[in-house]
Amino acid sequence: MAPGSGYLPGQFLIAMPHMQDVRFQRSVIYLCAHTAEGAMGLIINKALDSLTVPELMEHLKIPVEVDLKPTKIHFGGPVETSRGFVLHSCDYVEQATLVVGNELALTATIDVLKAIGRNAGPRQSLMTLGYAEWSAGQLDAELQANVWLHGPADDSIIFDLYNDSKWERALSRLGVSVSMLSSEAGHA
């Protein structure tokens, strides 16, 4: 979408402190798509305790020719939690890749995992299971109700391994201090 269109692909959604849905509390979401038909994004700051990248590759029987760091797989959102997504740098693109902006891309095929196993994948990547989804107008209504803040995404936050500080750092990039935010929703 063109700048000024009102749509936010390629931006962060940052949960406000009064977020009621526990699945999204203190979440930072990278918004992959946002149109009149709805929106889709990946939570980038909630790692799963139970699964690492090498374990996933072994489980899927994908040959690995390089030493993979035991990076955790992330909980991308509550929709289709058995489906995998790779948010990554644009140096790897295949036919099924969705390029979001100029910097990042999203691929949800087994081919990207095979490329990573051969050391031919993207330079930077974050793997998730599941995604977040909003129907037509739903995200716009949540933004109007001050459920989310939004702002420019930052690769250094997305691909950083320190998930516990991503929410505060994303807020800080907007010039917002956690201490300035109230946990109570309200309107003047």
Summarised one tens digit per residue, pLDDT across range 158-187 is 999 999 999 999 999 998 887 777 555 444
CB atoms < 10 A from the CB of 127, how many?
23
Give the residue extent of every domain in the chain: 11-180
- Provide the CB-side half-sphere exposure for 3 (13 A, CA): 3
Predicted confidence (pLDDT) per residue in 19-73, tens digit = 989 999 999 999 999 999 999 999 999 999 889 999 999 999 999 999 999 999 9
Percent of the chain past pLDDT 70, that is, above it, reads: 94
Give dist(CA 43, CA 112) in Å, integer.
19
With respect to CATH, is domain 11-180 assigned 3.40.50.10190? Answer: no
